[in-house]
Amino acid sequence: MFTPAYAARLLVALILALLATGCSSTKLAQSWEAPDVNEPAAKKILLVAMIKDPVTRRFFEEHFVAEAKKRGVEVIPSSEYIPQATDHDEKEEIVRVVRETGAEGVLLAQLKGVEKKKKFVPSRLDWFPDTHDDVVFYDHYYRNYRAIYRPGYVGADNYFNMQFRYFSTRSEKMLWAGNTVTKNPRSVIRGIEQIADEVISDLKSAGLLEGGGLL
């Protein structure tokens, strides 16, 4: 069963053991917008990472907030106001933080899992022509010596999946939802930055957030 505690362990493992297979990329796999939103774009939102481990939670929120700031969006990390993630279970605590910060929206972030998918990399042989007008003997010898056959192999890609839900503090309704997929993150910090970029960009495109471009 996929529990919050298990999710926290997965994220901790990701931070402690950076994946180095293939190229790193993040995309917004799915997104949804509430129809007929009748309220102004938020100037300030509260980020709540649903991660029980306090160190991992603060790490994620701090880097997400920093990337959002580059895009002119003010995001407040909930870990500064609620150090213990278990206090998220109390409605009064969330209401208090929303009032203290003046947040007009709340963004919930949750790890959904890390998937490993196998792939086949075909064999390869670098080939050079037998003769060429500009190739002298030593170059020809050296190039052919380097033409080494590389056999095919079965590798794996790792996919880091996160779920985001955005709620208005005015109506308390969900206005946006999205799922991100990060493939083979070589750097945890860079992975979080890419995730923040995708989420913030889509929220702004939906007209739910105010903010300029890169500072």
Rounded CA-CA distance 142/64 in Å is 49
Q: Pick the residue with more confidence: 184 or 128?
A: 184
Alpha-carbon distance of 100 to 145, in angstroms, equals 69
Average pLDDT over residues 143-169: 77
What residues make up the domain containing 193? 4-113+159-205
User: Cβ(161)–Cβ(179) under 8 Å?
Assistant: yes
In DSSP terms, 125 is beta-bridged to: 149
CATH number at residue 38: 3.40.50
Residue at 122 is within a domain: no
Q: Where in 34-94 does DSSP place strands (E)? A: 44-49, 74-77
Q: Which of 36-40, 105-109, 116-120, 147-151 comes out lowest in average pLDDT?
A: 147-151
pTM of the model: 0.72
Q: Does 137 fall in a domain?
A: no
Is the pLDDT at 212 greater than 50, yes or no?
Answer: yes
Indicate the number of domains in the chain.
1
Q: Is residue 55 a part of any domain in this protein?
A: yes
- Does residue 120 lie within any of the structural domains? no
Would the pLDDT of 87 be above 80? no
Q: pLDDT, tens digit, for every residue of 167-197?
A: 999 999 999 999 999 988 778 888 999 999 9
Domain membership of residue 140 (yes or no) is no
Exposed, middle or buried by CB within 10 Å (0-12, 13-18, 19+), for 23?
exposed
66 located within any domain: yes
Answer whether residue 179 is part of any domain: yes
